[in-house]
Structures are given as structure tokens and as C-alpha cells.
Amino acid sequence: MTGEALLIGLAGVLAAAGPIVFAALGETLTERAGVINLSVNGTILLSAMASFAVAVSTGSLALGFLTGMLVGALVALVVAGFSISLRQSQVAVGFVLALMCRDLSYFLGNPYMGLSGPRLPSLAIPGLQDIPILGPLLFRQDLLTYLSFVLIFVTWAWVFRTRPGLSLISVGERPAAAYVRGIRVNRLRTLYTVLGGALVGLAGPAFSLSVKAGWKGTISGLDGIGWIALAITIFGGWNPIRAAFGAYLFAFLQWLGLVLQASLPDVPSQVLQVAPFPLMILALLLVNIGNTEWIERTLAALPDSTRLLIARVLRSLRAQPPASLGVPFEQE
Amino acid sequence: MKAPRAVSGAGLRLVAVGLALLFTTIVLVISGAPPLEAYRQILVGSLGSFKKVTDVLVAWVPLVLATSGLLVTFAGGLWNIGIEGQITLGAIFATGALRAALDAGTAPAPAIAGAVVAGIVGGALWALLAGLLKVYGGVNEIFGGLGLNFVAVSLTLWLIFGPWKRPGVGSMSGTEPFPDFLSLPALEGYRLSPWGLVVAILGFAVIFFLLQGTTFGLRLKAVGKNARAAFLLGVPTTRHMLAAFLLCGGLGGAAGAIQVTAVYHRLIPSISSGYGYLGLMVAMLVNFQPLWMPLLAFFFAALNIGSIQLPIVLRLDSSLAGVLQGALVLFVLAMEGVRQRWRRTPAPGGEA
Amino acid sequence: MRVDLRDIHKSFGPVRANDGISLSIPAGTIQGVLGENGAGKSTLMKILSGYQRADRGEIWLDGRPAHIASPQDTGRYGIGMLHQDPLDVPPMRVLDNFLLGRDGGLRPQRRAARLALTELAARFGFDLDPEAYVEALTVGQRQQLELVRLLWLGARVLILDEPTTGISALQKEALFASLRRLSEEGRTIIFVSHKLEEVESLCHRVAVLRRGRLVGEAAPPYETDRLVEMMFGRAVSLGSRLEATSGAPVLELDNVVIEDRRMTVGPVSLYAARQEIIGLAGMEGSGQQLVLRACAGLIRPVHGRIRLDGAPMLGHSYHAFLRRGVGFMPAARLEEGLIPGLDLTEHFALTGESRGLLLQRQAAQRRAEEQIDSFKIKGTPSSPVEALSGGNQQRTLLALLRENLSLLLLEHPTRGLDIESVVWIWEKLKERCRQGTAIIFVSSDLDEILHYSDRIHVFFGGRVSPSLPARSTTVEELGQLIGGKGWPAPRGAEAPAARAPAGQGSPR
């Protein structure tokens, strides 16, 4: 493969990862606040369909994107309502919504199947696009991909560098400590669930109006992306930058599968495409295994030098969830 | 605000059903379809003729098996989302067994029986993997299960396009169909196999007995409700959790095996057909109580089969079934939350 | 700031946690609050700090009534509470914990906060690194952080709840010095503790609570005996004492050391022989619960040996201990002892002898009926356990214990029961003893400890006394030991000042 083709391919990877980045960033925010929004898969499908439908009907891309965000926010609001106000299991609600929103998207999207709609045009940045290597890679993308780049850092800065970010972290880690300092825990949780949902909702139109323009129902290849985004949130250790890395890694592996297709004619294409998914479990395993009790016990039995080395490796891989994740907070 | 004592759980559940129907009707209206006509089509399409009813039963069999298994894992407090993969692995193992039987020239009856057993084993092993990941790997069973679902799909695809592909070129239509004599015999002229019904009813009965009438069932429930206290009272919690995984996987595997031997007669990419996830919803809806499950499963299966008519007659997508099913669970959950909220009347003298 | 508590009442169901408490604390006072577990100290402090609302009564601050409805209100009024487990966010840095919750703009005002933090810390001699992560700090340091944070917020009343548990002697001195300075500046300090020596050395006045009432106040010079008497009262008639005929030791602990997040317990050497009742006394959190759980195999000591009937058991699983005839009853009824959602019959089915696969529901129900009758549990076999009252849950826990145990380990066996039930329950336990079971129990009720034990071990801050014969130990001695008096200096290995005749350590 020529260097040129490689760069174009990689640029495509960055663009294809865009939706996953949005979803992972949104879910990271939600889970940082202590809420699990398991509906991501369904939300993305529903928002993809809705935004496409709106864009096709109105001809406006902007309205399409707004619709996507709105849909994401609304579904997340349902999750928040169930889990915070009605104190029902977050897992149950999220899971049901994941299935129901998916079916809703197929049902309501039926009339729009196969239609061609507006598509976000590429927007090369003059000047920057001519930088060797980085130019074609980063600066010949469309608006949404640029937004995904920017959002990674904005989200990271928000969580780790601002005062509201501190409140967010505290709400997810130890809501009692936040509460005693005057922070309104449940209100913040609802807010970040909805905000995170809006970001997840942005992933939908990022597909249907950009990366994989159009709505093709069950064969759109979108089904499953939401679950990946959830796994990437864990893999990313609830850190926006690490999560984005996970998203890019995933998209890269998918692209690699396509590329290797030519050199591995015996292996069916579908297999290579699905291959990144099992790698995800391996990643989850590596990321969690440091936490288990038997590992801690085995480590305790090892000689000091080996133990410290292994412990350091495990600690760098380790993803510690926000301590209060999934635990409802009772304001006495 | 105190709730009137008369508002019972059953009453609120009826409200939930009503709300779900309302929601689905609104969805229909938004999509520009005539709601009553759509419901009628579903009704006719599922119960309109004897043939239709047998088709519903064909869908009922794997659903009941999967849900029975899920009742076991839910009893243990586990979210076995990996059920889809367990069904798939059951199908894979069954296909493998049938292929081996075909090559060896085994008689049909033992071959098919062997395939079902192989399916049970395959599903159980896949579930055990999820269980081990959870217990010894610290991987939450939701994500472990999801990941393994994906792996199962990959495995299926690899088999269909690789070692087990049809002569010529592999295609999404699956493996080479098995000859007729290697299928579970069906009723003359219909797709329903009474053997499938037997397996499903047997599976449900076994689980019902296990959960309600054995010490294992009681211990499992104890683990599900308070694993710490169960442990302190002497229950080996890890063993029970893994056993739950094995049982559920086995039942899911049986469902997969039946899909291969009675319904599709080959391995296809989406062999699990979403029965696992649907089973999760049925289990949630019966609040994990086994008694009403077969009936509810029939209702859900009817919705699925009935809505097949929709694309043909009304040019609607058949996912409407999923919308109604999801709405039912959602509103039942909502009403449960409302009921609990009414119960939590602010009384200043709670226990410290 | 002057604090007036006027006729505070608070009940939880039938339990009167605070029964008409009135206390006046002038500004600039260090007010000690003494009392045993369950006396009502923590409820009172929760009311003052906004976590609970009193049923009746008023709080006046600086001569004006205060309306405290939530912990956030106390911030406005200038009341700050330092919890035993400080409410901080462990994964965050010290500085961020310090400024969390303050209003401000988008960017955290780190520079101003760092200045305030270092200045305040220096003023009191605290050693706090703003960049360190809170989870790496010791308990003492986390307390210091919380203290300076409350001061920065302008707290004029500071409530400290058992602040010296798990901090070093040096940190304690620093804390006391800072508290004295703060009181000189006019701030009011409320020092809740069970440690007599500290209270006597630090506080300007002491209030003693017992059973929800204010039973007395004291000013220096303090008489320890008088304080102990106010705290614990006198022994009540509790039925006849079992004459112990001790046999071979069932359990032996040999130089066992247990490490917990907050403290190190031990080295402890004790034994329990058949038909003996051993009482573990001390305020909660002094280590006795950890030792008891180690005897059950639930906690693994870092050092030492455990033997059951001579067989070494260190490192064996809890279920292995159960198989050897050990029974364990936890204190947290609904969290660890019982299974909410299951009824009494099901609980008895769970703990009964399991004969094969089938659930013997009838047999379990019969057993449930028998035990309900035998333990006078107010409930039916089909009552879900969460519907039972606390006292009846306690009886259920006792009823669920297996027969013919060699060792019975009980955490607070009669908590929440009235005096008659206590006597009744102990009749049943003594019956087990006569049949050959050894019993080790943890209790905060001194009367119970003194009356039913054959031998007592007292725990204080992770240290364990040698075995004391119950017959010849008085309430006063016990109270003093529990309050930290009469222990040898940390490096010494002498027996405490109280009489300690033969019967220490291993019986051979």
C-alpha cells in the first residue's frame, strides 16, 4: 500500500471512529456522575434514524443533527427518571430501552429506507491541510469529525480541569461527601445523564448524515456500536482521552480487517469485520483483573520485586469505576 | 402522599398494559398507519388459523427454553445477557454433531438426540465461560456476556464461510441444509415439531421444579437476594452462581439445538434470532416468577409471528412487535417504581 | 458561638434515642460528651449537624433559634462536623478536596486555596501535602484536612466524633493543641469520645449520656470513677450465673495480629474451652469484632496461629470453619444475617440439614413453628423477615443457629432486646453451653459481659487485655479499661493494674 493510500485510509479511520468517540465521551460523562446508561445501542440507532428522517424531510443538516441530540437527551432523560426518581434498576431500564429504541428506529424508519439524503460535506482547512502527513490525516475531514477532535479535549478539560468537573467527580465517587459540601447530587446526576445522552445522540447522525450516510435499517451495520461504546467507556477508565484512544483503536482494527482482506482471501470478510469485538473482552479482562481478590492474594505471595512489577503493570491498566457507579443516592 | 390500600400490584400492572398500548398506538399514528388495522393484522397473523398458531408455537419453544434458563440466573441475582451467545453455541455444537453423524452414517434418532445433547453442552460451556470471567476475572457478566455474544457471532460466521461452508462459495444463507431425515420430525404439513414442544415443556417443568421445590433453588434465591448473608449462613455462593450459569446455558443451548434441528435445518448467521434478549424481557415482565411465564412467552411469540404480516399487508416494519414488548416492560417497571414510591410515605420514625 | 440544646427528643420506633436532652455550651468551650454505645451521642450529634431532625426540641445558636433541616444548613450557621470516617473523596487530591463545593467560576481557585490550606495547616502544625491523593493519607491526616476545610468555611462550632480512633500519638497531640487554640479564639468544640483520659485532659466540661438521657455533667478536676459510674451505671440482676466446668480448649489464638485499614489489632492470645463463655468487651471499633471474625475464618490474620480442637486453621475458608462446628452470628441483621425477601420457613429450610434434592417444606415449616415458639418470635412461618421488628429479627438470628456446635461466635447477641428477652435468650445460650459448646461473644453492654462471661478480654484501640475472670471484676474496673485507663504503656508487657490471677494465655 502506498503512503498516500495509507494516509487516506487512516484519515478514514479517524472519521469512522467519530460516532464511537461521541458515544464513548457521552457515556463517560454519564458514568462519571454515577449513572449507567445501558440504552446507548438503541439510542444511537434511534437518533440515526430520526436525524436522517428530519434531514431528508426538511433538507437541513443542522436540524438533523439537533434532532439526533434531542433524541439522545430524551432517552437519557427516561433513564434518569427511572433510576433517580423511581429508583428502579438502571441496568433493567437501560437494557429494555436499548432493545425498544432499536425496534422503534426500524419501525419508524421504514419509509426512509434507502432514500438518499443530505450528507455532511468534507471541509478541508486551508493551510493546515497541506502539512505533510498530519495534513491529509487530520485536516481534510468534515465538520463533525473536527467536532469530535475538539470534544475529546473539551470533555477532558471539563472533567479534570474545571471546578464543575470536580463536583462531577465527587458525585460519582462519594455522593455523601459531595452532598455535605452543598452539591446537589441527584440534580447533577440527572443533568449529566441527559448531557451524556445528547452526546450519544450525536453519534447517530454522525453515521446517518456523514460516515454511512442514509438509513438502511437492519443492514446499516450500526447495531452493536452502542455496546462497543459502553465497553470502551470501561476500557477508557472513565477518562475521555483514554476512551477516545479505545474508539480509534477499535475503528483501526476494523479498517485493518478490511485491508488484510486482500492478503487473506481464505478468511471470510465478515469474520475480520467482527474480529475486534472479541478483542474487546480481552481488553475488559485485562482492565479488570487487577481488581479481583484472588489476584491480590497471589500477588501477596510473590517475592517483592516481581510483585511490585506486576502490580505496577496492573495498576496502569486498571480501570477503577467511580465508586458510586450504579448506586442510587438517598438524600436523607 | 399515601396511596389508597386498594391500589394493588395487579391494578397497576393493568394500567401499565394500557399505557403500553397507548404508546404503541401513538407510534403507529406517527408513522401514518391505521392502529386498529395493525393490531388486527397481528391478531390474525398469529392466531388466525391453525397453521398460524403452530408457527407461534415454533417461536414459543426457544423462547420458553431461554426464559426458563434466565429465570435461574435471575434467581441468582445475575444478568445473563450472554444468553444469545449461549443459544448460538448450542446451535453450533448441534450442527457439528449432526455433521459428524452424517459422516458416520448414524441412524436419525440417536443422531438428533445427540445433537440436542451436544447443544446443551455447548451452551452450558459458553455460559460457564461468562461465569468464570465474572467470578475469577472480575468482568461484570453484562459485558462479559455481551462480548461473548459477539464472539459467538464471529465464530458462526467463520464456520459458515470457512470450514463448514457450502460447496462452492460460502454465503449468508448458512451451511448446507441437512437432509430431511436428520430433522426433528414435524407435524405433517406444518413447521412445528411436537418434539420441540416436549423439550420446551420439559425444560420449563424442570426449572420450575428446581426453583420452587429443591434446596438448590432456595439457596440460589438466597444468593440472589443477599449473597453476603447467604455466604455467612453457609451457602457456597460461587458454586451456586456458576451452577446457575451452567443451567441457563444448557437450556439456551437446547434452544439453539432445536433451532438447527427443527426450524432451520442448518446453521445460519443469526441462528439465535434474538430469542435471548426477548427472553430477558419476558423474565423481567413476570418479575422472575415462573408460574405465568409460558403464557406470557406465548403472547410475546404471537406478537413476533403476527407482526410478520405487517410488511406484507400494511407496508410496516415488523419491529412493531418489539416496540410493544419493550413498552410493556418499561411501563410495568414504571408502575413498580410508582408503587414503591407511594409505599415510601415519609414517616419520621424509621429504624436507625 | 454559644450552643443551646433545649429538650431534644428523637425516637426510632419504640427506641428513645434522645429523651429530653438539654445542654448549654458557652462559646469557646471544649465540651466533652461521654457515653457508651447506644447512649444517644451520635443521634444527638446528627441532629445538631443536620443529618436528622429532632422530633421535639430546639437548637439555639448565640441566643437565637436555629432551623437546621439539612447538612447544608449547618454550613450556613457555621457548624462543622468531623466524622469518624471523614467525608472526603479518596481518588481526588488533598487540595481539590479542600476546595470542593466552594462557589466560584469555571476555573478552580487553586492558588488562593493552596495559600489558605498551607497557612491553616502550618498554624496547627499539620503536615498536609496539597498534591497528595487522599486515598494515600492516613486517617489522622484526612481528619486534619477536614478540620482545616471546616475552618476555612468559617465554622464556629466543631463537632468531633471519636476523632482519635486510628491516629498516631503525634497527630493526636497536634489535634489537641489545635483544638485548644481554636477554643481560645472563641470557637466551640464538642468532643464526643469514650476515651476517658483524653476527655479528662482536653475538655473544659463533660456531659455524660446514658440510655438517651443526660445523666450528669462534670467539671475539672474529674473523678474517673464518678464518670464511669455515670456512663455505665450499676449491674442489674440478670439471672443465675452458670457454673463453668471448663474442659479442653476448643479454640486457641496464638499471637494473632490482624491488620485493618484503620488499626492493627493484637498480638492477641486467647483460648476458649468447652462450656466456657468468653466476653469481648470494648467500645465498637476497638478490634474485638475483627478478632471474633478471625475466629470464624472470615478475616485472615497477618500473623499468628489459630487452632480448633488442636487442628491448625489459619488460612482455611469460613466454610471450613463451619464444617468443624463453628457457628457465627453477625451483628448487621438485614445486611449480613438475614435474607430480605425470604420468609421464616425458607430461612429455616436454608439452615436445616439438607437431605437430598427435595425441599422439605413441611419439615422446615414445622421447625419454624417450633423455633418461633421456643424463641418467642412475634411472627408466623410465612412472615418475610424484613417485616419483623429488630428485636424479633435478633431472635430469628439466634434461632437459626445450628445445634451441637463446638464453638459459637456471637456479635452483639442481644442488641435491641429488652431486659427480659436478654435473660431468656441467655438461658438458651447457657443450655448450649451445658451441652458442651464454647461461646465467645462481643457486646457493648457491660452488665451482660460481666454477668454471663466466665472470662473477659477488654479491647482498646486494637490492644487486648489478658483474660480477666468475670467473677472478680467490677463494673468500674471494666469501664476504666474500656475507656483506656489502666493499660500499661505501649511498649510494656505487664498485666493491667486490675487483678489478673491465673488464667492468662494458654491453659497449659
| Structural domains in chain A (count) | 2
The reply to whether residue C87 touches residue A162, judged by beta carbons under 8 angstroms, is no
On chain B, the residues whose CB falls within 8 A of the CB of A111 are 31-32
| C 335-394: CB under 8 A from A | none
The reply to whether residue A110 touches residue B316, judged by beta carbons under 8 angstroms, is yes
| C 22-61: CB under 8 A from A | 51-52
**A–B: how many Cβ contacts below 8 A?**
153
The boundaries of the domain holding residue A314 are: 275-321
Looking at the fold, whether A194 and A79 belong to one and the same domain comes out as: yes
* pLDDT value for C362: 87
Q: For residue C411, how many other CB atoms are within 10 A of its CB?
A: 22
Looking at the fold, whether A68 and A88 belong to one and the same domain comes out as: yes
Q: Report in angstroms the alpha-carbon separations of C56 from A331, C9, C63, C208.
A: 22, 5, 19, 21
Percent share of chain B, pLDDT over 70: 95
The reply to whether residue C339 touches residue B226, judged by beta carbons under 8 angstroms, is yes
pLDDT in tens, C212-223: 889 999 888 888
Residue C218 phi/psi, 5° resolution?
A: -145, 155
Residue C355 to chain B, least CA–CA distance (Å) = 9
Between CA C399 and CA A34 the distance in angstroms is 40
Is A332 part of any domain? no
Q: Which of B215, B230, B349 sits opposite C349 (nearest CB)?
A: B215
The reply to whether residue A178 touches residue C89, judged by beta carbons under 8 angstroms, is yes
Q: Is C15 on the interface with B (CB under 8 A)?
A: yes
Residue A165 to chain B, least CA–CA distance (Å) = 27
Looking at the fold, whether A302 and A165 belong to one and the same domain comes out as: no
Instruction: Calculate the CA dihedral of residues C193, C197, C199, C205 and round it to 10 degrees.
Output: 140
Q: At C507, is the pLDDT very low, low, confident or very high (cuts 50, 70, 90)?
A: very low
The reply to whether residue C358 touches residue B217, judged by beta carbons under 8 angstroms, is no
Is A326 part of any domain? no
Looking at the fold, whether A283 and A199 belong to one and the same domain comes out as: no
Between CA C52 and CA C38 the distance in angstroms is 16
Domains of chain C, first to last: 3-232 (3.40.50.300), 236-325+403-508 (3.40.50.300), 340-401 (no CATH)
Q: Which of A164, A169, A182 sits opposite C89 (nearest CB)?
A: A169
Give the neighbours of chain A: at least 3 Cβ pairs within 8 Å. Answer: B, C
Between CA A32 and CA A27 the distance in angstroms is 8
pLDDT in tens, C1-47: 889 999 999 888 777 888 889 999 999 999 999 987 778 888 899 88
Q: Is C348 on the interface with B (CB under 8 A)?
A: no
The 3-state DSSP class for residue C136 equals: helix
The DSSP code sequence of C164-209 is TTT--HHHHHHHHHHHHHHHHTT-EEEEEES-HHHHHHH-SEEEEE
Q: Is A164 on the interface with B (CB under 8 A)?
A: no
Residue A170 to chain C, least CA–CA distance (Å) = 6
Is A76 part of any domain? yes
Which has the closest alpha carbon to C188: C416, C372, C4, C430? C4
* pLDDT value for C240: 59
Q: Quick one: C505 exposed, middle or buried, by C-beta within 10 A (0-12, 13-18, 19+)? A: middle
**Domain C-terminal end among A263, A287, A312:** A263
Looking at the fold, whether A20 and A133 belong to one and the same domain comes out as: yes
Q: Is B347 on the interface with C (CB under 8 A)?
A: no
Is A330 part of any domain? no
Percent share of chain C, pLDDT over 70: 93
Q: Is C317 on the interface with B (CB under 8 A)?
A: no
Looking at the fold, whether A287 and A159 belong to one and the same domain comes out as: no
**Domain C-terminal end among A219, A243, A263:** A263
Looking at the fold, whether A144 and A232 belong to one and the same domain comes out as: yes
Looking at the fold, whether A20 and A142 belong to one and the same domain comes out as: yes
* pLDDT value for C197: 84
| A 92-121: CB under 8 A from B | 92-93, 95-97, 99-104, 106-111
The reply to whether residue B317 touches residue A109, judged by beta carbons under 8 angstroms, is yes
| Closest chain C CA to residue B224 | C339
| Closest chain A CA to residue C85 | A177
Looking at the fold, whether A183 and A299 belong to one and the same domain comes out as: no
Between CA A164 and CA C103 the distance in angstroms is 10
What average pLDDT score do residues C317-340 get?
92
| Closest chain A CA to residue B321 | A103
On chain B, the residues whose CB falls within 8 A of the CB of C387 are none
pLDDT over 50 (residue B98)? yes
Residue C12 to chain A, least CA–CA distance (Å) = 15
Q: Is A181 on the interface with C (CB under 8 A)?
A: yes
Give the neighbours of chain B: at least 3 Cβ pairs within 8 Å. Answer: A, C
CATH number at residue A253: 1.10.3470
**Domain C-terminal end among A219, A241, A263:** A263
pLDDT, chain C, mean: 85
In this prediction the pTM is 0.87
Looking at the fold, whether A151 and A193 belong to one and the same domain comes out as: yes
Is A227 part of any domain? yes
The reply to whether residue C100 touches residue A173, judged by beta carbons under 8 angstroms, is no
Looking at the fold, whether A158 and A279 belong to one and the same domain comes out as: no
What average pLDDT score do residues B14-21 get?
92
Better-scored residue on pLDDT, B204 or C423:
B204
Q: Is B103 on the interface with C (CB under 8 A)?
A: no
pLDDT over 70 (residue C497)? no
SS3 letters for chain A?
A: CCHHHHHHHHHHHHHHHHHHHHHHHHHHHHHHCCCCCCCHHHHHHHHHHHHHHHHHHHCCHHHHHHHHHHHHHHHHHHHHHHHHHCCCCHHHHHHHHHHHHHHHHHHHHHHHCCCCCCCCCECCCCCHHHCCCHHHHHCCCEHHHHHHHHHHHHHHHHHHHCHHHHHHHHHHHCHHHHHHCCCCHHHHHHHHHHHHHHHHHHHHHHHHHHHCCCCCHHHCCCCCHHHHHHHHHHHCCCCHHHHHHHHHHHHHHHHHHHHHHHHCCCCCHHHHHHCHHHHHHHHHHHHHHHHCHHHHHHHHHCCHHHHHHHHHHHHHHCCCCCCCCCCCCCCC
* pLDDT value for C235: 53
On chain A, the residues whose CB falls within 8 A of the CB of C71 are 179-180
Residue A3 to chain B, least CA–CA distance (Å) = 31
What average pLDDT score do residues B152-174 get?
83
Can you give the residue ranges of every domain in chain B? 60-298
Between CA A115 and CA A213 the distance in angstroms is 10
Tens digit of pLDDT at every position of chain A (332 positions): 677 788 888 888 898 899 999 999 999 999 999 999 999 999 999 999 999 999 999 988 899 999 999 999 999 999 999 998 888 889 999 999 999 999 999 999 888 888 888 888 888 877 777 777 777 778 878 888 889 999 999 999 999 999 999 999 999 999 999 988 888 899 999 999 999 999 999 999 998 888 777 787 776 678 888 988 998 898 888 999 999 999 998 888 888 877 777 777 666 666 666 667 777 777 777 777 766 667 766 766 677 777 777 777 776 666 778 888 888 887 65
The reply to whether residue C55 touches residue B348, judged by beta carbons under 8 angstroms, is yes
A159-168, A179-188, B221-230, C225-234: the lowest-pLDDT one: C225-234
